[in-house]
C-alpha cells in the first residue's frame, strides 16, 4: 500500500535532525517573535524528540533569535498601546504567549498611572459606540468592557466616576 506524499513527508520530518528543527523554528520566527516555550511546544507538536528540541532551542538562543526578555517588553508595549489592555490583561496576554511569571514580574513596574491613561483612551474609544444607551446601561457596558480588558476595579471605578462628571 503506497503512502501519500503528505504522510511520507510527515513521517520523515518526525524522524529528522537538529537542522530540520532549526529550519522549522526559523520559519516560525519569520512570521512573528515567539517565546522559548512557544517554539518548544510547536517543535514538540511537529514530532521532534526532546533532545533535538533542546539542541535547536539552545542554538537559536545562542544566535540571538530567542530572547524572552526582549519579547516580553515588545509584547507588553503592543498589549498596552494597541490593545489598550489593563495591567491584569497584559499579564494574561504575556502568559498566553509563553512568557514566564518571573519575567512578567520583571517587566512590570508598580506604577498604575499609565493604566489610568490607557483606561481613559479605551473609554473614549468605546463611548462612541454606546452613546445612544441610557446612562445606567452605558455604565454597565463600560464596567464589563474594562473588566474584560483586564483593568483593576479601582481603575474602573475611577473611570466610571469621571464618565459621570463628563456627562453632567
Label residue 1 by pLDDT band (50, 70, 90): very low
Cα separation of 26 and 103, whole Å?
Answer: 23
Residue 124 clears pLDDT 60, i.e. is over it: yes
Residue 133 clears pLDDT 80, i.e. is over it: yes
Collect all residues with Cβ–Cβ distance below 8 Å to 37 and sequence separation of at least 6: 98, 99, 100
- Return the pLDDT at 3: 42
Fold of 5-63: Arc Repressor Mutant, subunit A (1.10.10)
Look at 19-23, 89-93, 95-99, 107-111 and tell me which has the smallest mean pLDDT: 107-111
Residues 149-159: tens digit of each pLDDT: 999 999 999 99
Q: What is the mean pLDDT of residues 1-8?
A: 44
What HEC string does 94-151 produce?
HHHCCCCHHHHHHHCCCCCHHHHHHHHHHHHHHHHHHCCCCHHHHHHHHHHHHHHCCC
Residue found by looking up cell 498601546 in the block: 81
Burial of 19 (0-12, 13-18, 19+ CB in 10 A): exposed
Q: What is the mean pLDDT of residues 48-73?
A: 94
Look at 15-24, 89-98, 134-143 and tell me which has the smallest mean pLDDT: 15-24
- Return the pLDDT at 168: 46
Q: What is the mean pLDDT of residues 83-111?
A: 91
CB 68 within 8 A of CB 38: no
Cα separation of 62 and 59, whole Å?
Answer: 5
Collect all residues with Cβ–Cβ distance below 8 Å to 129 and sequence separation of at least 6: none
CATH number of 113-167: 1.10.10
Residue 15 clears pLDDT 60, i.e. is over it: no
- Return the pLDDT at 113: 74
CB 118 within 8 A of CB 155: no
Higher pLDDT, 110 or 49: 49
Within 16-112, residue ranges assigned H as helices are 18-31, 36-46, 50-63, 68-77, 87-96, 101-107
Label residue 110 by pLDDT band (50, 70, 90): low
- Return the pLDDT at 109: 72
- Return the pLDDT at 112: 65
The dihedral through the CA atoms of 15, 17, 19, 22 has a sign that is positive
Amino acid at each position: 500500500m503506497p503512502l501519500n506524499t503528505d504522510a511520507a513527508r510527515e513521517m520523515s520530518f518526525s524522524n529528522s535532525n537538529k537542522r530540520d528543527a532549526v529550519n522549522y523554528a526559523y520559519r516560525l520566527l519569520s512570521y512573528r517573535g515567539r517565546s522559548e516555550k512557544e517554539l518548544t511546544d510547536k517543535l514538540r507538536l511537529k514530532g521532534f524528540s526532546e533532545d533535538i528540541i533542546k539542541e535547536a532551542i539552545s542554538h537559536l538562543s545562542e544566535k540571538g533569535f530567542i530572547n524572552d526578555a526582549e519579547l516580553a517588553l515588545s509584547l507588553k508595549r503592543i498589549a498596552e498601546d494597541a490593545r489598550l489592555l489593563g495591567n491584569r490583561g497584559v499579564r494574561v496576554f504575556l502568559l498566553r504567549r509563553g512568557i514566564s511569571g518571573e519575567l512578567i514580574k520583571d517587566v512590570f513596574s508598580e506604577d498604575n498611572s499609565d493604566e489610568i491613561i490607557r483606561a481613559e483612551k479605551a473609554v473614549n474609544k468605546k463611548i462612541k459606540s454606546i452613546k445612544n444607551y441610557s446612562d445606567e446601561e452605558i455604565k454597565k457596558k463600560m464596567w464589563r468592557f474594562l473588566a474584560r480588558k483586564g483593568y483593576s476595579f479601582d481603575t474602573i471605578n475611577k473611570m466610571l466616576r469621571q464618565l459621570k462628571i463628563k456627562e453632567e
